[in-house]
């Protein structure tokens, strides 16, 4: 299964709506295809300028290593040098903080990743899950 | 005047609709704010993976130098070393090809830039103008 | 359709055999998946050390822009600044020389790219086509 | 002694077979020559897209410093700033995690390095040793 731009747009809208409905800070959301290339990105009113890089870095790290943002985040806490190494290996596109999620289809295949930034890491992750599940796909956040 | 995400989204939709209505190849469109940071991006079904970098590079070059994509493109033809210098100065985010446009408000102030990629450079530029004018703003493409 | 490592390995072997059978210089061959990430690479006996970067740059450029190595090569001849811009946009992973080829399945979908380097550009391109067609896929070189 | 592509290919196959025979996650394996340049790379079915960078980073770090992955990993734990410095010095191609191994010939000379990624660091390192020893060479992992 391949992510369409329409599905990606709906995930972004659902993640941002989740943020608004729960009183979060303005969120920014990116959907990457299975190769890590942007399909859709939006930055909400009031989001700071660097949000694209943050959202992409969260999603990109998940995708390159095939791990959720939670797993990456725990590993970064335990091994700070791991993050250093990954940032080097992936040209700085690696943000090991919650808010990134693998997107899996019904067969379990990774078909992309979604990254959220703007509120606390836990809230970002919850919004990522909301966005992915809103279109009937499986989130690994 | 500051670009809102809603206005940016409408510009992206209008530019992509212009492409579809005129039988163009799948377009990808980015809107950058006045500081050159992404607000909204979409890559149409069938667009090749590298389209974010191309769309951003077109819009970013316009914004950083305050020049339209047509002016940058002519200068690049005349002075290839100019492009080399700009790529160095702006960390590679500089694509001096038509398809990038400054977005001006009614007072003439630059409030952002829009970049289109996917079809011929001339068609990309036409779609950029269509997207900007669809929301009542002024395009310098 | 997704490229398997087994199919990629057979393409690499067939491209390298084509080179040997035709008396070419030692070839190096990479197969990238649809997102531009390496699946299989081999450098033949006697190939110079930088061949991975050359092979990947050829294949990566094709994939990011959805164009064949021949098209990229002609565009580079006509617009030297285009290559400068693309090298910046894609972090130097862009070699606009023949020898890169899109890999399409029977439906026409791009499922990866193959890059060959080592002999003349024309011979590299011929080996790329031989590798892709050996597994029943469609080459756009 | 110089590594041939045939020997490199057999090491990659043996390391990957070791992973499959021991129920490991899908492995990716690279063999670098004595100068740190790729000879052969393969990513197994189901490996995440970023595995080339990880495998190369492990092997490259070993080779550049003449140390095994275990030694590098312990040093990284003790001195996180060491990894930061090495990433800068080697343009990001430095992953100080087990799974990288020096390849020595019978005289003790370093003739290359092999990097494995995909399972736990300890398992990656065991697969690296298996690959190197399968061709009668000496592993320092």
Residue C52 — φ and ψ, nearest 5°? Answer: -60, -50
| Structure tokens belonging to residue B112 | 């952002």
The pLDDT of D1-28, averaged and rounded, is 97
Domains identified in chain A and CATH numbers: 5-140 (3.30.450.150)
pLDDT value, residue C129: 98
Sheet containing C28-33: give its strands across: C138-140, C100-104, C110-117, C28-33, C38-43, D38-43, D28-33, D110-117, D100-104, D138-140
D and B interact (at least 3 Cβ pairs within 8 A): no
CA C15 to each of CA C116, C120, C134: distance values in angstroms, whole numbers, following the listed order: 8, 14, 8
Residues of chain D with C-beta less than 8 angstroms from the C-beta of C33: 49
- Flag whether pLDDT at C135 surpasses 90: yes
pLDDT value, residue C84: 84
Instruction: Using CA coordinates, name the residue in chain D closest to C42.
Output: D40
Higher per-residue pLDDT: D83 or A6: A6
Q: How far apart are CA A135 and CA A14, in angstroms?
A: 9
Residue pLDDT, tens place only, C66-104:
999 999 999 999 888 888 889 889 988 999 999 999 999
Q: How far is B8 from chain A (nearest CA, A)?
A: 9
pLDDT value, residue A79: 85
Neighbours of chain A (3+ CB pairs under 8 A): B, C, D
Residue pLDDT, tens place only, B84-100:
889 889 988 999 999 99
Cβ contact, residue pair B57, C110, below 8 Å: no
Q: What is the pLDDT along chain A (141 residues), one digit of tens a residue?
A: 899 999 999 999 999 999 999 999 999 999 999 999 999 999 998 999 999 999 999 999 999 999 999 999 999 998 888 888 898 899 889 999 999 999 999 999 999 999 999 999 999 999 999 999 999 999 999
Q: Is A53 on the interface with C (CB under 8 A)?
A: no
The pLDDT of B36-47, averaged and rounded, is 96
Residues of chain B with C-beta less than 8 angstroms from the C-beta of A51: 37
Best of B6, B11, B41 to mutate (most A CBs within 10 Å, chain A) = B41
CA neighbours within 13 Å on the CB side: how many for C120?
Answer: 5
pLDDT confidence tier of residue B1, bands split at 50, 70 and 90 = confident
Cβ contact, residue pair C85, B97, below 8 Å: yes
pLDDT value, residue A82: 85
- The DSSP line for A101-115 is EEEE-TTS-EEEEEE
Best of A1, A37, A88, A111 to mutate (most C CBs within 10 Å, chain C) = A37
- Three-state DSSP at D103 gives strand
Instruction: Using CA coordinates, name the residue in chain A closest to D117.
Output: A65
Cβ contact, residue pair A34, D49, below 8 Å: yes
pLDDT value, residue D80: 81
D79-108 per-residue burial string, b: 16 or more CB within 10 A, e: under 16: ebebbbebbeebebbbbbbbbbbbbbeeee
pLDDT value, residue B84: 84
| Structure tokens belonging to residue D3 | 């590594």
**Which residue has tokens 């992750």?**
A125
pLDDT value, residue D27: 98
Q: Is D77 on the interface with A (CB under 8 A)?
A: yes
- Flag whether pLDDT at B83 surpasses 90: no
pLDDT value, residue A80: 83
**Nearest Cα residue to D99 out of D15, D33, D5, D14:** D15
Residue pLDDT, tens place only, D97-111:
999 999 999 999 999
- In chain B, beta strands by DSSP E: 28-33, 38-43, 100-104, 110-117, 138-140
Neighbours of chain B (3+ CB pairs under 8 A): A, C
Q: How far apart are CA A99 and CA A55, in angstroms?
A: 8
pLDDT value, residue C75: 92
DSSP alpha helices (H): ranges in C22-78? 51-65, 69-78
Q: What's the mean pLDDT when you consider all of chain C?
A: 96
- Three-state DSSP at D98 gives strand
pLDDT value, residue B71: 96
Strand partners, A101: A114
pLDDT confidence tier of residue D1, bands split at 50, 70 and 90 = confident
pLDDT value, residue A107: 95
Q: How far apart are CA B18 and CA A37, in angstroms?
A: 24
Nearest by CB to residue B5, choosing from A9, A45, A49, is A45
pLDDT value, residue B87: 87
Instruction: Using CA coordinates, name the residue in chain A closest to D45.
Output: A109
Neighbours of chain D (3+ CB pairs under 8 A): A, C
Query: For chain C, percent helix, then strand, then coil, each to nearest 5?
Result: 45, 20, 35
Helical packing angle, A121-133 and A5-21, nearest 10°: 130
Q: Is C87 on the interface with B (CB under 8 A)?
A: yes
Q: Is A36 on the interface with C (CB under 8 A)?
A: yes
Express as a percent the part of chain D with pLDDT over 90: 89
- Flag whether pLDDT at D87 surpasses 90: no
Cβ contact, residue pair A43, B41, below 8 Å: no
pLDDT value, residue D82: 85
ipTM value of the model? 0.94
Residues of chain A with C-beta less than 8 angstroms from the C-beta of D84: 81, 84
Express as a percent the part of chain D with pLDDT over 70: 100
Cβ contact, residue pair A66, D54, below 8 Å: no
**Which residue has tokens 């959720």?**
A68
C106-112, long-range: CB < 8 A, 24+ apart: C106/C1, C106/C138, C107/C1, C108/C138, C109/C1, C110/B48, C110/C34, C110/C63, C110/C66, C111/C1, C111/C2, C111/C3, C111/C33, C111/C34, C111/C137, C112/C3, C112/C8, C112/C31, C112/C32, C112/C33, C112/C34, C112/C39, C112/C63
Residues of chain B with C-beta less than 8 angstroms from the C-beta of C83: none
Higher per-residue pLDDT: B38 or B89: B38
Residue pLDDT, tens place only, C5-59:
999 999 999 999 999 999 999 999 999 999 999 999 999 989 999 999 999 999 9
Question: Do residues D26 and D77 touch, judged by C-beta distance below 8 A?
Answer: no
pLDDT value, residue A93: 92
Q: Is A45 on the interface with C (CB under 8 A)?
A: no
pLDDT value, residue C80: 83
Best of B11, B43, B46 to mutate (most A CBs within 10 Å, chain A) = B43
pLDDT confidence tier of residue B44, bands split at 50, 70 and 90 = very high
pLDDT value, residue C115: 98
Cβ contact, residue pair D95, A89, below 8 Å: yes
Question: Do residues A100 and A122 touch, judged by C-beta distance below 8 A?
Answer: no
The pLDDT of B110-133, averaged and rounded, is 98
Cβ contact, residue pair D5, C52, below 8 Å: no
Nearest by CB to residue D5, choosing from C35, C45, C49, is C45
Residues of chain C with C-beta less than 8 angstroms from the C-beta of A33: 35
Q: What's the mean pLDDT when you consider all of chain D?
A: 96
- Flag whether pLDDT at B56 surpasses 90: yes
Instruction: Using CA coordinates, name the residue in chain B closest to C37.
Output: B49
B and C interact (at least 3 Cβ pairs within 8 A): yes
């Amino acid at each position: 299964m391949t992510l369409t731009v329409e599905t990606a747009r709906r995930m972004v809208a659902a993640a941002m709506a989740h943020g608004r409905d729960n009183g979060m800070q303005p969120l920014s959301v990116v959907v990457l295809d299975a190769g890590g290339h942007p399909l859709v990105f939006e930055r909400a009113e009031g989001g700071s300028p660097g949000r694209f890089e943050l959202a992409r870095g969260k999603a990109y790290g998940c995708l390159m290593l095939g791990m959720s943002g939670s797993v990456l985040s725990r590993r970064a806490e335990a091994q700070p040098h791991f993050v250093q190494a990954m940032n080097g290996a992936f040209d700085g596109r690696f943000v090991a903080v919650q808010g990134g999620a693998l997107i899996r289809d019904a067969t379990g295949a990774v078909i992309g990743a979604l990254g959220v930034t703007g509120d606390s890491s836990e809230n970002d992750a919850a919004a990522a899950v909301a966005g992915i599940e809103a279109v009937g796909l499986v989130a690994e956040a």
